[in-house]
Amino acid sequence: MLPINYHHLYYFWVVAKAGRISQACRQLLLSQSTLSMQIQQLERSFGKQLLHRSRKGVALTPEGRIAFDYCERIFSQGEELAAALRPGCGLTPARLRLGITGSVSRHVVTQILERVYRIDRRLRVSLLEGLHEDLRERLEKHRLDVVVSNIDFANDLGLEFRSRLVGALPIDFVAVPKLGKLIRRFPADLATLPMFLNAPENPVRKEIDLFLCRHRVVVSVEAEIDDFDLLRFLVLRGRGVAAMDALTVRQDIAQGRLVRINPRPVSVKEYIWFTCGRHPKPNPILQEVMSELLEGFEIRV
């Protein structure tokens, strides 16, 4: 007789990934009372509590974390087995679930993808763009493998997560050449032109505000935008000045579409962080890629 009820184990795995029993019920087509009873029976068979339950949902206990890691291996390999035996199909490819905050430059994402595919072309990458809070919640519920952001939030997630600083991008003040010619005294003349800034909660915006405050410059804010694509579009249309990372505007400056207004580097940078779980991934290809990103990747400016 098998010592573990694998149906109960599968239900636990789905609940842990969903983060809420009610959401898992919809996926499994089970009633909440039935699913709760199955999880309790699994916990009794182990003699350990696997989940903390609260109004916010469920969270893994230390023992639950161990069980979840084994479930990842068991059921991901089960999916690979089913795919391998299906006529005309091969092994299910490893998949990297990558969360990107909207304020992170697409040039940064491109460098990440280039590095990933150099390691193993068989890897499938799923990109999800979202707000910091949404991506952090998805990472905590194991729906993402890595989050790329300009905020280090690993400490908010507990000891089972870690982060690494992978880049510090210099920030430049840029505009179209026609507006750039109007700036004769930097940064004082910034007060004479409309300016686009990031949202107030963005860490780069906070550094920009401090920079302007130190130089006693009060600017006219045209709009507050965290979407870097929209920000770049408006600046290229000549609508105002913006503070953007050097990687994003490098090609525009080289081709003369934009000019750098600050004659010397300013003391503002955008820091890019990777955040992920500490536990190894069951798929060896995914584990290799994760190790490479968390140990050897650096953004090239």
Cβ atoms within 10 Å, residue 260? 16
Q: How confident is the model at residue 1 (pLDDT cuts 50, 70, 90)?
A: very low
Average the pLDDT over 112-121 and give the result.
87
Identify the pLDDT of residue 301: 82
Q: Which tens digit of pLDDT belongs to each residue from 264-285?
A: 999 899 999 999 888 777 778 8
Please state, for a pLDDT cut of 70, what percent of the chain lies above it: 93
Q: How confident is the model at residue 243 (pLDDT cuts 50, 70, 90)?
A: very high
- Domain 93-301 in this protein, CATH class: alpha beta
**Lowest-confidence range among 42-46, 65-69, 204-208, 234-238?**
65-69
Higher model confidence: residue 255 or residue 284? 255
**Is it the case that residue 254 has pLDDT exceeding 90?**
yes
**Lowest-confidence range among 118-122, 255-259, 287-291?**
118-122
**Is it the case that residue 165 has pLDDT exceeding 80?**
yes
Average the pLDDT over 48-66 and give the result.
87
Write down the mean pLDDT value for the chain. Answer: 87
Q: Is the peptide bond before 187 cis (omega within 30 degrees of 0)?
A: yes
Identify the pLDDT of residue 122: 77
The residue ranges of DSSP E strands in the chain, in sequence order, are: 51-54, 57-60, 95-101, 124-130, 146-149, 161-175, 194-197, 220-224, 241-245, 259-260, 269-277
- Cα distance between residue 117 and residue 201, in whole Å: 33
Cβ atoms within 10 Å, residue 287? 13
Please state, for a pLDDT cut of 90, what percent of the chain lies above it: 40
The answer as to CATH 1.10.10.10 being correct for domain 6-85 is yes
Identify the pLDDT of residue 93: 62
Q: How confident is the model at residue 138 (pLDDT cuts 50, 70, 90)?
A: confident
Higher model confidence: residue 155 or residue 77? 155
Average the pLDDT over 188-197 and give the result.
95
Q: Where are the domains of the chain?
A: 6-85, 93-301
Q: How confident is the model at residue 94 (pLDDT cuts 50, 70, 90)?
A: confident
Average the pLDDT over 80-100 and give the result.
67
Note whether 245 and 263 are within 8 A (CB).
Answer: no
**Is it the case that residue 179 has pLDDT exceeding 60?**
yes
**97: CB partners within 8 A, 6+ apart:** 126, 128, 143, 144, 145, 146
